């Protein structure tokens, strides 16, 4: 069974904008929400997402940093199913504007109108612990 390398997977992730980010709530339920990778796709096992300090997601991560990321690529014109990717990750909350600037994309100003100076801005770094994928008939696990 062939296995993609992290670099090969990175090329496929570059074409996927939205990720479903899942956290565990205080009551033990799983909460998921769509998050844009904002074009920050030099994928090395880390995913980066901006959000608000007072969001439920931040509270969930403060309590339990284990998160799940799911991605789905585009179907091919020839009818081949898209790639599906499941990532188990450990999240870190970053409040340092130096990191904000490194991962900022002007498109984010749609949600954060003061850019990296938006009050209450938080950057989530989700570092992959395990990556599984399904790409047509091929499936595998990428070593991180």
Q: What is the DSSP letter of 34?
A: E
> Radius of gyration (Cα) for the chain, nearest Å?
16
Q: Is the pTM of this model over 0.85?
A: yes
Tokens of 71: 């991605």
Residue 106 phi/psi, 5° resolution?
-55, -25
* pLDDT tens, N- to C-terminus, the chain (144 residues): 568 888 888 888 878 888 999 999 999 999 999 998 766 656 677 889 999 999 999 999 999 999 999 999 887 777 778 889 999 999 999 999 999 999 898 888 889 999 999 999 999 999 999 999 998 778 899 878
- H/E run at residue 57: helix 56-63
d(Cα 88, Cα 125) in Å, to the nearest integer?
Answer: 13
73 close to 83: Cβ distance less than 8 angstroms: yes
Q: What structural domains does the chain harbor?
A: 6-142 (2.30.110.10)
Q: Is 67 left (phi over 0), alpha (psi -120 to 50) or beta?
A: beta
Tokens of 85: 């990717």
Residue 55 phi/psi, 5° resolution?
-75, 155
């Amino acid at each position: 069974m062939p296995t993609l390398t992290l670099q090969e997977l990175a090329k496929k992730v570059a074409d996927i904008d939205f990720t479903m980010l899942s956290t565990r709530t205080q009551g033990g339920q799983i909460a998921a929400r769509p998050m844009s990778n904002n074009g920050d796709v030099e994928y090395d096992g880390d995913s980066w997402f901006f959000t608000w300090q007072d969001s439920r997601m931040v509270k969930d991560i403060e309590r339990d940093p284990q998160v799940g990321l799911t991605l789905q690529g585009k179907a091919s014109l020839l009818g081949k199913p898209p790639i599906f990717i499941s990532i188990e990750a450990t999240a870190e909350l970053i409040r340092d504007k130096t990191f904000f600037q490194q991962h900022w994309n002007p498109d984010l100003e749609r949600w954060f109108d003061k850019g990296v100076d938006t009050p209450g801005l938080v950057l989530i770094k989700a570092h992959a612990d395990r990556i599984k994928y399904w790409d047509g008939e091929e499936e595998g696990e990428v070593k991180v």
